[in-house]
Amino acid sequence: MTSSIIRLYTDGSCLKNGADNAPGGWAAVLESGHKQLRISGHATPSTNNSMELQAILEGLKAVQASQQTIHIYTDSAYARNGCKTWRFNWRAKGWLTSNNKPVENQELWQQLDELLDQHEVQLFKVKGHSGHPQNDLADKLAVAAARGRTVREYRQAGDYEYVRPARETETSEEAVQ
């Protein structure tokens, strides 16, 4: 990806948030220059917040070696505020909240903290389901991932057409392992 800025659009989805073994999905749409990378994945159990964080984390992992500025767009106030402000306080307090309780999603936050410190990052909050093409695409991919349909593909920047990914099968997952 070649450009001075990498734009990372993220979303997370949890189909039965709050339920035991709730299936979740995350998605990231990365754009730089004329290239676009779409990635998604799933996890069980999950929460909507853990999937929002996972989306940012996986997007940052995809560009980890880059020295470019990264603009992260999320519809999650939790993810944006945590990345922009809260993580510094949590880290200083040994990953405890202001009430001296362990930070929820601590492992994800610690990984994000490490990756965010390696890049020049700006965070932007976008309104969810508001016609923002990249975030709407990330939302559709995250919901599909929560249902077991994941993607990793390159496209041309500006292509926001959603094509439902094929369902993963047990044999294809076993082949990857």
Residue 171 pLDDT more than 70? no
DSSP character string of 24-41 = EEEEEEEEETTEEEEEEE
Does 52 participate in catalysis according to the annotation?
A: yes
C-alpha distances in angstroms, 110 versus 82, 145, 176? Answer: 11, 24, 27
pTM passes above 0.75: yes
Query: What CA–CA distance (Å, rounded) separates 28 from 56?
Result: 7
Determine whether 111 is exposed, middle or buried from the number of CB atoms within 10 Å of its CB (0-12, 13-18, 19+). Answer: middle
Tokens of 121: 């990052």
Q: Please state, for a pLDDT cut of 90, what percent of the chain lies above it.
A: 77
**What is the pLDDT at residue 172?**
34
Catalytic residue among 31, 52, 58, 136: 52
Q: Is 136 annotated as a binding residue?
A: no
Q: Is 52 annotated as a binding residue?
A: yes
Residue 173 pLDDT more than 50? no
Q: Which domain holds residue 125?
A: 5-176
Q: Is 11 annotated as a binding residue?
A: yes
**What is the pLDDT at residue 14?**
97
Total domains present in the chain: 1
Q: Please state, for a pLDDT cut of 70, what percent of the chain lies above it.
A: 90
Does 11 participate in catalysis according to the annotation?
A: yes
Does 12 participate in catalysis according to the annotation?
A: yes
Q: Tens of pLDDT along 82-133?
A: 999 999 999 999 999 999 999 999 999 999 999 999 999 999 999 877 778 9
Catalytic residue among 42, 75, 82, 136: 75
Residue 169 pLDDT more than 70? no
Question: Any idea what the CATH number is for the domain that residue 56 is in?
Answer: 3.30.420.10
Q: Is 20 annotated as a binding residue?
A: no
